[in-house]
Each structure stands twice: as structure tokens, then as C-alpha cells.
Amino acid sequence: MNSASCAAKISTQPFSLNPTSLTSHDNPLVFPKPTSLFLGSTRKLRLSSSSKLNLHRRSGTVVAVSDVVKQKKSKSTPSLLITKEEGLELYEDMILGRAFEDMCAQMYYRGKMFGFVHLYNGQEAVSTGFIKLLKQQDSVVSTYRDHVHALSKGVPARAVMSELFGKTTGCCRGQGGSMHMFSREHNLLGGFAFIGEGIPVATGAAFTSKYKREILKEADCDHVTLAFFGDGTCNNGQFFECLNMAALWKLPIVFVVENNLWAIGMSHLRATSDPQIYKKGPAFGMPGIHVDGMDVLKVREVAKEAIGRARRGEGPTLVECETYRFRGHSLADPDELRDPAEKAYYAARDPITALKKYLIENSLASEADLKAIDKKIDEVVEDAVDFADESPVPSRSQLLENVFADPKGFGIGPDGRYRCEDPKFTEGTAHV
């Protein structure tokens, strides 16, 4: 796992209380020198800043999880982090995410889906690393970049693809679209178009979990909620307000920052006074962890700890995953602003390639096993497209159906009957 171990070197420098040692860096990567300090060459931040290991913000509240990961890795006889089954599960999930998103791009350019479509290529390690540790009753809240979160959580590829095609068999009956993936069965609470909007909803889901345990006396209720959001969201008020409330009430939630450095065309460094997001956790009284988000095993280790904390009732955690999106912000984004060298740097750290290498080098799986999974996933995705293509579009009758849970909310018409009793209501042509 060469690329991963290179990255591992950067993010796992010897953890020491001596400040001077933190500033030294051995830089194994070949990389052109940054030209401007202020405009934020991201490279400079990522390579030279070892202060991201400075986890000593508040005594006792910050867990040096990266430390644990590093120690495990530096043992001479590596004890493996995963079993074969787990490894194949992780691989399959990431391949599904990648293949699905690639198919989305194809379908978009063929005019099968419209609007804003935000693809997750490159960030699969975060979704897989976290969500594969959850139970079905745990909740996930995402943003508009939610296709892969939905898939990892267990929403069938068919349902997601149909939703993207706007068909009635979609997970939201075609009414949500790319940015609003919901699944009650799998406890995926969205899919939100405005950034930051989902974080309070996630906080509410975590509040319900605590409420169930303490008020409704469901003693074994230990449901955890994960809130995924990006670096741009970390400058939004809802983020800070929810960090406060979650820590205040020790809610079982993990705040997962998918820091891919770019909010459309705005570099994280140009938008943020202190770009190290994980540092903001301790300011609210929760641990802040930084992890290499291109390495699914590292993410998984951190996730285990954070989710475990939440399950045990110890409160929230802020996890910053350093990751990257290989495509533009959305399919409408020409992606001209990012430096090709930066893209190449992260392409070399492709999480799928890295995991593949790990599995093969540690004899957890053979090439054939992985090829079989690739083929299987190709079929799943093809099947999803076929299913979506053949599914019917929503009929007019669906127009008014889900506006209210109780359709009496449309009120009483001039004839004295509730509007929803009008036969035209079910046809979708009633005047409401």
C-alpha cells in the first residue's frame, strides 16, 4: 500500500509533546514548490503542517486516535486491521460507490437525469469506512453529495438510480431527486440541498436516541447518528450551534467532516480563518480527530472509536477526514480552478487502489476475487439502470399525495367537504 504508506508517513509523525519536533517534516513526496503562501496552496498545508497531530487541545477530552492507528501500523509484524470478509465487504462497497457514480455521469450526459448532480468519486473511503460499521437502526444524515451514503447505508442501487431518473420507483418516489435521498427503512434521513441544513436534523435524531433511552426507557437504545458534511459547511452557523448542543447534552452523534478542500470554486484555505477543522471540536468540549480520508482502514479505525463513544453515551466526536473529489463539484462544474498537480497527488492516493493493494499484499484476497466483485458490481449497476429505464414516470395522481401526512391539511373547500375528499384530489387535478 505504497501510496497509503506515503500518506501514512505524513499524518503519523511521531507524536510528541515537544513542540519543536512537530514542526519538522520529512517530505517523501515529489511535489512542486508552492508559489504563494497566502492564497493557500493546499499542498503546503497538507505536507508541512504536522500540527494537525496536535491533539492536545484540552486535557482528557481529546483522544489521540490517529496515534493508535499509527502504532498499529508501525509494528514490524503487521496484525491486520480487517478480516478477509470485512476486506471484501469494504472493497465491494467502494467499488459500488465508484461504479455507480461513473454511471450517473454517463446517464446525465445522455439526458436521463437532470438538475444538480454531485458525485462522490474519490471520497468512497469515508462513506465506506464509517457507514459499514453501523447497524440498520443507526441514522445517517448527508448533504447533496449523498448517492454513495445511500448505497453504503443499504439503499438498493435500483432505488437510487430510479430516484435519479425521476421515476416513481425511486426511493423517494421521484419527488426528491439527487439531492434528497431518504430511506425510512435504512434510516437515511436525507439528502439536503442547502449545506448545514442536515446537521440540526442529525442532532435531532441523536436527541431522539437519547430520549428513547432516558424517557421512554428503551434501555438498550444505543442508536448512533452520523452527520456528513463538507469543509464549506464548517464555516456555517448551524455547524457550530449543533456542536454546542451535541456536546452540551452528550448526544450520540458523530460529526464527520469530508474535507475535500473545495466548496465549488472556493478553496477551504481562502474561506476559513483556521483551516484545521478538527481543532474546533475541543472548543466545544468534544474530541477533534483528523484522519486520512483516502485510507479506508484508517477511517474505519477512527470511526470505530467515535461510534463506540457515542454508543456508550460518552457524547459526540468531530472527525475531520482529509479527502478529495476526483470530479468537479457537480456535473455542471467545469472544474478549471483546481491545480492539475493537486488532482494528480490525490489520484495517486485513490482509496480503492490502496485497499486493493492492501488486500493483495496481505493475502486477504486474490486478483480473481476482486475481479469477481468488479464484475458483480458492474452487473448491479447495469441492472439498476435497466430497472430505472423501465420504471414508470410518476402519474399526475402523485402530485398532491405527500404534501401532508394528513391530507386534511389542504383544508375545507367551499362545498363543505375536505379538499382531499374531492375525487380529483387523487387524480392530482383538485384545486387546493
Partner 1 sequence: MAATFHGVGATVAALSSSSSPSNSFGSKKLLSSPSRSFSVRKRASFTVVRSDGSVNFDLNSKGRRAQQLIANAVATKADSSPASSSSKPGHELLLFEALREGLEEEMERDPCVCVMGEDVGHYGGSYKVTKGLATKFGDLRVLDTPIAENSFTGMGIGAAMTGLRPVVEGMNMGFLLLAFNQISNNCGMLHYTSGGQFTIPIVIRGPGGVGRQLGAEHSQRLESYFQSIPGIQMVACSTPYNAKGLMKAAIRSENPVILFEHVLLYNLKERIPDEDYICNLEEAEMVRPGEHVTILTYSRMRYHVMQAAKTLVNKGYDPEVIDIRSLKPFDLYTIGNSVKKTHRVLIVEECMRTGGIGASLTAAITENFNDYLDAPVMCLSSQDVPTPYAGTLEEWTVVQPAQIVTAVEQLCQ
Smallest gap, in angstroms, from Cβ of residue 198 to partner 1? 8
- For residue 55, give the nearest of 10, 98, 22, 7 by alpha carbon: 22
Q: Closer to partner 1 by CB, 39 or 412: give it.
A: 412
- For residue 238, give the nearest of 191, 278, 199 by alpha carbon: 199
**Strands, sheet with 253-259, edge to edge from the N-terminal-most edge strand:** 139-141, 225-230, 253-259, 317-322, 288-292
Task: Give me 234's grid cell.
Answer: 464548517
Q: Closer to partner 1 by CB, 366 or 395: give it.
A: 395
Q: Closer to partner 1 by CB, 212 or 327: give it.
A: 212
Task: Say how far apart CA 313 and CA 6 lie, in whole Å.
Answer: 36
Name the residues that contact partner 1, by CB under 8 A.
Answer: 139, 141, 170-177, 180, 182-184, 189-194, 197, 199-212, 214-216, 237-238, 241-242, 244-245, 248-249, 401-406, 408-419, 421, 432
Smallest gap, in angstroms, from Cβ of residue 121 to partner 1? 25
Smallest gap, in angstroms, from Cβ of residue 283 to partner 1? 15
Smallest gap, in angstroms, from Cβ of residue 10 to partner 1? 35
**Which positions ≥6 away from 344 have C-beta within 8 Å?**
none
- For residue 313, give the nearest of 251, 256, 226, 255 by alpha carbon: 251
Helix runs in 268-422, H state only: 268-271, 280-283, 296-311, 340-347, 351-361, 367-390
- For residue 241, give the nearest of 287, 212, 292, 280 by alpha carbon: 280
Backbone angles phi, psi at 228, to 5 degrees: -105, 135
Q: Closer to partner 1 by CB, 87 or 177: give it.
A: 177
Smallest gap, in angstroms, from Cβ of residue 282 to partner 1? 18
Smallest gap, in angstroms, from Cβ of residue 18 to partner 1? 38
The number of angstroms, rounded, from the C-alpha of 404 to the middle of its chain's C-alpha atoms is: 30
DSSP 421: G
What Å distances lie between residue 160 and 5, 81, 177, 381, CA to CA?
Answer: 35, 31, 9, 10
Smallest gap, in angstroms, from Cβ of residue 272 to partner 1? 20
Q: Closer to partner 1 by CB, 1 or 161: give it.
A: 161
Smallest gap, in angstroms, from Cβ of residue 370 to partner 1? 35
Q: State whether residue 188 is helix, strand or coil.
A: strand
Task: Say how far apart CA 420 and CA 404 lie, in whole Å.
Answer: 10
Q: State whether residue 23 is helix, strand or coil.
A: helix
Smallest gap, in angstroms, from Cβ of residue 235 to partner 1? 15
Task: Say how far apart CA 226 and CA 153 lie, in whole Å.
Answer: 11
Q: Closer to partner 1 by CB, 54 or 187: give it.
A: 187
What Å distances lie between residue 376 and 107, 122, 324, CA to CA?
Answer: 20, 21, 26
Q: Closer to partner 1 by CB, 42 or 178: give it.
A: 178
Q: Closer to partner 1 by CB, 171 or 331: give it.
A: 171
Q: Closer to partner 1 by CB, 110 or 184: give it.
A: 184
Q: Closer to partner 1 by CB, 207 or 346: give it.
A: 207
Backbone angles phi, psi at 188, to 5 degrees: -100, 110
Helix runs in 391-428, H state only: 423-427
Smallest gap, in angstroms, from Cβ of residue 250 to partner 1? 11
Task: Give me 109's grid cell.
Answer: 450526459
